[in-house]
Structure 1
């Protein structure tokens, strides 16, 4: 799966989807897709990533307590 870094619009290939959808994990491991050669794996804050369309990640992927916040 590819996501985009908010500030730079660079694409990142996510290594572990489970890591991405787990709201208790703040970072994901991926490979920046710059240049023609495969880049080394790096860590990215989930809050700095969006879908390539520009849409934000689902809140349930970022906040483990998202249900409590919407109940109020």
Structure 2
């Protein structure tokens, strides 16, 4: 899966999808998609990532308490 960095619009390829959807994890491991050679895996903060369309990541991927915070 590819996501985009908010501040630079560069694409990154997510290495572990389960890490991405885990709301208890603030970072993901991904590979920058620049150049033609495979890049090294780096860590990125999930709150700095969006879908290539510009849409934000689902709240349930970012906030483990999204259900209780919404009900209050």
TM-score, normalized by length of structure 2? 0.98
Query: Following the alignment from structure 2 to structure 1, what is the Cα–Cα distance between the partners of residues 26 and 57?
Result: 12
Query: What's the offset of the Cα at 1:36?
Result: 1.1
Equivalent position of 1:33 in the other structure: 33
* Count of residue correspondences: 72
Report SS of the residue matched to 1:47. Answer: helix
Equivalent position of 1:12 in the other structure: 12
In structure 2, list runs of 5 or more residues that go unmatched: none
Equivalent position of 1:51 in the other structure: 51
Q: Is 1:71–2:54 an aligned residue pair?
A: no
Query: Following the alignment from structure 1 to structure 2, what is the Cα–Cα distance between the partners of residues 22 and 42?
Result: 18
Query: What's the offset of the Cα at 1:34?
Result: 0.8
In structure 1, list runs of 5 or more residues that go unmatched: none
| Runs of 4+, deviation exceeding 6 Å | none
Structural RMSD (CA): 0.4
Equivalent position of 1:42 in the other structure: 42
Equivalent position of 2:2 in the other structure: 2
